[in-house]
Structure 1
Amino acid sequence: MSFRRGVVRQSKFRHVFAQAWKAEHCIDDVRVSRVTWDGPLCAVNPKFTAVVIESGGGGAFLVLPLNKSGRIDQATPTVCGHAAPVLDVQWCPHDDNVIASASEDCTVKVWQIPDGGLTGPMTEPVVTLEGHSKRVGILAWHPTAFNILLTAGCDNLVCVWDVGTGELVYQIADAHPDLIYSVSWNREGSAICTVCKDKALRVIDPRRGTVLKVKEKVHDGTRPMRAVFLSDGKILTTGFSRMSERQLALWDTRDMSEPMAVQEMDTSNGVLLPYYDPDTNMVYLCGKGDCTIRYFEVTDESPYVHFLSLYSSKEPQRGAGFLSKRGVDVNKCEIARFYKLHERKVEPISMTVPRKSDLFQGDLYPDTASVEPSLLAEDWIAGQDAPPLLVSLSGGYVGAPSKNRDTLRNKPKLSSQGSGTDSPPVPQQAAMPTATTREPESEGVGVVQQRVTQGEGASDRVKREEEVLSEVLAEVKALRSVVLAQGQRIELLERQLARIEDGDV
């Protein structure tokens, strides 16, 4: 009897499971916004959670430290400088204290959040970007160039801004005949992809304003679509079929005549918001009003988009924030974390790969995009492109403290709001330990410097360093025993294989 080998696709993400955090780690009594805009209404980074909330007479959003949990008092200060409801918020990928907000008041505002969170209502932004004539619902920071922000509004305009100067540097006015549903940068930030109410997918050079590729009728249905650039240049879209079934499709930008893959899911009418992780090449789909989060792996093997599993709960989601990879808990093999918005609650949900080993799982955590920008704004405007600067997450495994470094030479002057660049960072004590961008070799220096400033004596420093050294030696010893055990196991398996080949079994 012959057995077919390879029937089950091998993938380290095949057994990813989702788990909601316990009630005491949720954020309660949050009046999540009821705007009808199909946006995530939440943004998360390693320092803060931002949630768009109901606000009388204007627009506001909450900013809370990532480790905050429990009931939110009605007197909790908010960012409340907009004259109409806020539709989108996005954290700057190159400064964890900077966030942009887009509103129905036709403006985009950029805010500097002090370390530790707000101590009073924030009404004065660092800069206000005015150039749209209708409400603005889409924000997208450039992935590698500092201070470059893209906005799209209901006036069918795409605007690209230099936040450091407040200037509108590019405007794409004639590419979209109707409402723009979504915009996504490619990995280097040299192109964007958009989907529009006319059902077309476009690839655009934002600096020249030229449409490089266009595919009519990406999805036949009339409901809103979404598109996201993958790291290899392909594009994943979500939308609806003519029969109102929800779909996802994968497109090769070199030939968009036919999709590489199409998957149909169900007939729910909630718009599917795609969240893409370039490190694992996984896509998570959260439907507005759904009780589920589906997740898929994208590979080079047919059928290219592989369904992994789905997380299901009793409560539907109003939106969701996706934590940047620098914030996940590498100690628990967490590869992604969502912050699911309920009607009056924010609930963290961890995506975890089951592993028994106590070592850092390097195969789950390739080097990820760091907080450092690859380019300054003027470099990108001048025509330069660069991939993201990468950083290892292994430092987060030993719980190294966050590294405080000034990331930019031409930051906007943000000190008036108590910026993170002018005040020392407050150490985070997250409910789940967060990964950091700190290099392991710099940890000892930072610890010693901190102890000196606190008036610690030389003998205490020596004692502390001896403790660190003993911990390292213990870890080396543990590693050596693991290697020896694995060597013995390999030897045993080789003997068994030799016996099978010799016909002894």
Structure 2
Amino acid sequence: MLRIIDPRSNSVTGEVLAHEGVKGGRAIWLGEKEWIFSAGFGRQSERKIAIWDPKNLSKPLTEQTVDNAAGVIMPIYDNSSSIVFTAGRGDCSIRYYEIVNDSTIIYFLSSYSSTTPQQGVAAMPKVGVDVLNNEIMRLYKATPTTIEPVSFRVPRRSDSFQSDLFPDVPGTTPALTAKDWLSNKNSKPVLQSLAPSGDVQRQAAAPEREFTPVVKEPKVLSQAALEAQNRELTSRVSFLEAELVKKDAMIKQLKE
């Protein structure tokens, strides 16, 4: 179930069966777009994502099937770029989508892949990203043994601050006091600029070194050497096959 709760009145103002699967789901608020992004499972346990208008929960604005994996999708939204990053628990990849105000709404952009599965994902607050290297998002991926930073950057060569990539974002100054909030007052977040102070330029990337492959000439063996090598490998294979038979017998005995 997807529920909208008014924390001031402690009441549910809207609810809908967002995804029909029995497994858990997630939902996030899409900032200035004023929509809700949900991720869950369908009847056949396929993973799905959807966009909802909180003013009309009768049906989703759009819905897409992702895949048939089993991990719960953990979404993270970047309001500045209108990009949703989705990381499935147990997956080795992180997909990201752009949210656009048109009939399609959700557009798949690309995915980041690695060899280690993630157990959880969190995001660096926008005020902490590296704007001088056009980093629009930095995720921290929790694996069974480490926490790995994953940086998403826009490939631009300009050394100047990219104001179109980094509009003002909510800073650390609160917009309301607790008393004002409890008095039903509302206020938009206090924004701050991400532009670096002073004359700071992006650090130039180290020049790429030319890759020169090392090609080794194959060693030519005589007929006698090839026959000797073949006998040695045949003997080695026979030995390994015998060892496997022994291990299978031991496993069978242990099971009995």
TM-score, length-scaled by structure 1: 0.39
Matched with 2:156 is: 355
Q: For the structure 1 residues 397 and 223, does the alpha-carbon distance in structure 2 shift closer, same or farther, using more than 3 Å as the test?
A: farther
Figure out how many residues of one structure are paired with residues of the other and give that number.
200
2:193: which partner in 1? 392
Once the two structures are TM-superposed, the CA of residue 399 in structure 1 deviates from its matched residue by: 5.5
Following superposition of structure 1 onto structure 2, how do residues 13-412 of structure 1 map, counting pairs within 5 Å?
200-215=1-16, 217-231=17-31, 232-395=33-196, 398=199
C-alpha contact 1:330 1:396 (8 A) present in aligned 2: no
Question: Aligned partners of 1:261 and 1:397: how far apart in 2?
Answer: 45
Aligned amino acid, residue 269 of structure 1: A
Distance 1:377 1:396 in 2: 32
User: Tell me, what secondary structure is at the counterpart of 1:383?
Assistant: coil
Change (3 A) 1:388 1:268: same
Root mean square deviation of aligned Cα = 1.5
Name the SS of the counterpart of 1:214 in structure 2: strand
| Higher RCO (C-alpha 8 Å, min separation 6) | 1
Instruction: Give how far 1:385 is off.
Output: 1.2
Matched-pair contact (CA < 8 Å) for 1:247–1:263: yes
1:354-377 CA-to-partner distances (Å, cap 9, x unmatched) read 111111000000100011000111
SS at match of 1:378: helix
Offset from partner CA, 1:446-476 (integer Å, 9 cap, x none): xxxxxxxxxxxxxxxxxxxxxxxxxxxxxxx
The one-letter code matched in structure 1 to 2:190 is L
CA 331–305 in structure 1, closer or farther in 2 if over 3 Å, else same? same
The more displaced of 389-398 and 379-388 is 389-398
**Could you tell me how far 1:210 is from its partner in structure 2?**
2.1
Tell me the TM-score normalised to structure 2 length: 0.75
Q: Confirm or deny: 8 A CA contact 1:321 1:340 kept in the other structure.
A: yes
How big is each residue's C-alpha offset from its partner over 1:325-378, in whole Å with a ceiling of 9 and x where there is no partner?
Answer: 000000110000011112111111100011111110000001000110001111
Contact 1:340–1:346, Cα closer than 8 Å, also in 2: yes
Structure 2 Cα separation of the partners of residues 394 and 384 of structure 1: 31
Equivalent residues of 1:246, 1:265 under 8 A apart? yes
CA contact (8 A) 1:331 1:397 kept: no
Q: What do residues 404-463 of structure 1 show as CA deviations (whole Å, max 9, x unaligned)?
A: xxxxxxxxxxxxxxxxxxxxxxxxxxxxxxxxxxxxxxxxxxxxxxxxxxxxxxxxxxxx
Q: In the superposition, relative to structure 1, how do residues 237 and 396 fare at CA in structure 2: closer, same or farther (>3 Å)? A: farther
**CA–CA distance in structure 2, aligned partners of residues 398 and 390 of structure 1:** 22
Question: What letter corresponds to residue 282 of structure 1 in structure 2?
Answer: I
Matching residue's letter, 1:289? G
Q: Percent identity?
A: 41
CA distance in 1, matches of 2:197, 2:147: 25
Residues 173-196 of structure 1: CA deviation (Å, up to 9, x unaligned): xxxxxxxxxxxxxxxxxxxxxxxx
Query: Equivalent residue of 2:67, what SS?
Result: coil
Q: Which runs of 5+ in 1 are unaligned?
A: 1-199, 401-505
In structure 1, what is the Cα distance between the partners aligned to 2:198 and 2:154?
A: 15
Segments of 5+ residues of structure 2 without an aligned counterpart are: 202-256
- Is 1:330–1:397's contact at 8 Å kept on the other side of the alignment? no
